Structure formats: structure tokens, C-alpha cells
């Protein structure tokens, strides 16, 4: 019996594969490597895989609706699996966090992320967990936000991207095994690159206080 839904946000299609907005997909693909189970199949406007992680049955989801309509796919999967929002973990890029930072939050606002906004709208609640993976640029970017998130990582970022993904996978594993508070304690406030590309930005908060 599937107990949890872990959804990574991104856009379908080869042109988006290595873009910042597809970081959620990258984390799901890496976490999948730690699991036992079948491969991804097309279902619920998504690519999904039914897997086991240390004995826990989980559905991994990569919505194929494009980021801004992610809520349609997530709501459909939760309904089909008879799960509640409390059983959901959403993994996504976050411009408000510097590259290298991973933060776990719960019952939090969308923070300007349209995919998260879509999920909140479709579910009618913010009461779900998130792994937010920082993509904020060094010193800010002159690009419009829409262009920045759809562009590829810089060469410097590419060199340490695997460390960031591993940090997000760690957060995902702890959330699944021990819950949101333990995941927050483990990763919030840490950098997963050797040299942070920038300092924490204004408005960055400790996700722990967002737990109700």
C-alpha cells in the first residue's frame, strides 16, 4: 500500500532537462536510484514510479503538465492513491534561497513559485511538506526571473550541483523515515557546497517555525 507521494517539479521535454526549474525532477531521479521497484510510467498527467525505500511504499511523481499547472497532476495522484496533503512532499527549485542551500518547510506560502501556487490552489491547503532547493544567483541576476529559472546552471554551479542534489535527497530520506521536524533539523541552515555562491537573501526564514 502506497503511504507517501513524493513529487518533484519541472517541465517536460528535452529543452528543459538541465534548467534550474527542473531541479525537482533531478532530485526525484537521484532518489529513485536509492529505491527498489519498477520504472517510471505515464499516469495521472505525470511520470510515476511505485517504489519501496527501506520498506516504505512510495509513489514518485514528475508532473508532465509544465510547472505552472503542477497542482492538477498532484491533486489527481493524491486522489487516486487515497492520500491526504499530509502524505505529500514536494521538491522544487527556490529562487529565494542561495544556490547550495536546502530547506525543508511545512504549511508555508508559495514564495512566488507558480508550481507550488498551483498545488496549493488545487488542494485548497498549504498543509504539505516541501524540500526547497536554492537556485539564487551570486549577487543577483539581471535576467528576468522567468528567463533565469528556464536557463541552465552556470559552469561553477554545475561543478557542485551533485552536492546540492545529494542534500535534497538526504532531506527527502529523513522526511520519509523520521518526519518533517527531523528533516528540518538535519538540513535547514546548512550549505551543501564548499563555498556558498551568495549569502542568505532577505526574507529567508527558518522553515521549522512553519510547522504547525
Q: What is the CATH number of the domain that holds 86?
A: 3.40.50.1470
Within the chain, which residues score under 50 in pLDDT?
Answer: 197-212
In the prediction, which pLDDT does 207 show? 42
Q: Is the dihedral of CA 150, 151, 156, 159 positive or negative?
A: positive
Q: What is the 3-state secondary structure (H, E, C) of 161-173?
A: HHHHHHHHHHHHH
pLDDT at position 138: 64
User: Among the residues of the chain, which ranges form H helices?
Assistant: 23-32, 70-81, 114-123, 145-149, 155-178, 180-187
pLDDT, residue 175, reads 99
The residues annotated as belonging to the active site are 21
- Tell me how far the alpha carbon of residue 98 is from its chain's centroid: 15
- Smallest CA-to-CA distance from 53 within 176, 171, 175 is with 176
Residue 63: CB partners within 8 Å, gap ≥ 6? 7, 9, 10, 45, 46, 69, 70, 72, 73, 74
Q: What pLDDT sits at residue 88? A: 99
Contact 70, 1 (CB under 8 A): no
Enter the C-alpha cell of residue 95.
529562487
Domain count for the chain, please give it: 1
Of the candidates 81, 79, 80, 63, the residue with the CA atom closest to the CA atom of residue 71: 63
pLDDT of residue 137: 74
Structural domain containing residue 13: 4-210
pTM: 0.90
Amino acid at each position: 500500500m502506497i503511504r507517501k507521494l513524493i513529487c518533484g517539479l519541472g517541465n517536460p521535454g528535452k529543452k528543459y532537462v538541465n534548467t534550474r526549474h527542473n531541479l525537482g525532477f533531478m532530485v526525484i531521479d537521484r532518489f529513485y536510484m536509492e529505491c527498489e521497484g519498477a520504472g517510471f510510467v505515464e499516469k495521472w498527467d505525470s511520470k510515476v514510479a511505485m517504489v519501496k525505500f527501506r520498506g516504505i511504499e512510495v509513489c514518485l511523481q514528475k508532473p508532465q503538465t509544465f510547472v505552472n499547472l503542477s497542482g492538477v497532476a498532484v491533486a489527481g495522484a493524491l486522489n487516486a492513491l487515497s492520500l491526504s496533503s499530509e502524505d505529500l512532499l514536494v521538491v522544487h527549485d527556490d529562487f529565494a534561497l542561495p544556490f547550495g542551500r536546502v530547506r525543508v518547510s511545512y504549511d508555508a506560502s508559495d514564495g512566488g513559485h507558480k508550481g507550488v501556487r498551483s498545488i496549493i490552489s488545487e488542494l485548497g491547503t498549504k498543509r504539505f511538506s516541501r524540500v526547497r532547493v536554492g537556485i539564487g544567483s551570486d549577487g543577483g541576476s539581471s535576467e528576468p526571473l522567468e528567463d533565469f529559472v528556464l536557463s541552465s546552471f552556470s559552469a561553477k554551479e554545475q561543478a557542485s550541483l551533485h552536492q546540492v542534489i545529494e542534500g535534497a535527497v538526504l532531506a527527502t530520506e529523513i522526511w520519509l523515515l523520521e518526519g518533517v521536524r527531523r528533516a528540518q533539523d538535519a538540513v535547514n541552515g546548512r550549505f551543501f557546497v564548499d563555498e556558498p555562491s551568495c549569502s542568505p537573501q532577505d526574507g529567508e526564514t527558518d522553515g521549522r517555525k512553519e510547522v504547525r
